[in-house]
Homo-oligomer: A and B are copies of this chain.
Amino acid sequence: MISIVVSTNRQEATSEKVALYYQILLKAQNADSQLINLIDLPTDFIFTALYNNAGKNERFNLIQQAIIDTEKFVFIVPEYNGSFPGVLKAFIDGLPYPSPFKDKKIALVGLSSGIQGGALALSHLSDIFAYLNANVLGTRVKLMQIEKNLVDGKITNDFYNQLLNDQVKKLVAF
């Protein structure tokens, strides 16, 4: 079971659409998957589930358990202010120590409205996962100008589909 993490808590996020599309690509490779969507986090979790309150928020713990129970992940990461969404890092900050990502396998997909495709977001995130001793697949996929290339929930850009399918196969074999 692969978990696809929608790495933002924004309503009707493009990341969620891309996550659902990624699920179809995984299915075509006979790989089961589930979504973990940060929009499901408790609205006050950065105060009620972190630091001295770690472990005390039941709704946070449910999502945390899904992370603990997963061995392989894809993070769909929109670029906000030149990096990943703060909420994603705050979520990671709420997870227990030692990290549930330790020795697990992770693929990264960056999305941007502009032309960067989240290059720095994925670089920063790779540093964090390395710190947590998780193995990040070398092949990082960066999808720039995502809104132009996503129609009715499908990526319409052939090159993007090639990049995604290549990553999907590598992740399944990782």
Contacts and interface: CB of A to CB of B under 8 A. Distances in A.
Interface of A: 9-11, 43-44, 46-48, 50-52, 80-93, 99, 103, 115-117, 119-120, 122-124, 126-140, 142, 144, 170, 174
Given A51-B11, A135-B137, A46 B127 contact: no
B130 A127 contact: no
Contacts of A85: 89-90, 93
B90 A83 contact: no
B81 A131 contact: yes
12 contacts: A80-B89, A82-B132, A83-B89, A86-B88, A86-B90, A86-B92, A89-B90, A115-B115, A120-B120, A123-B127, A124-B124, A133-B138
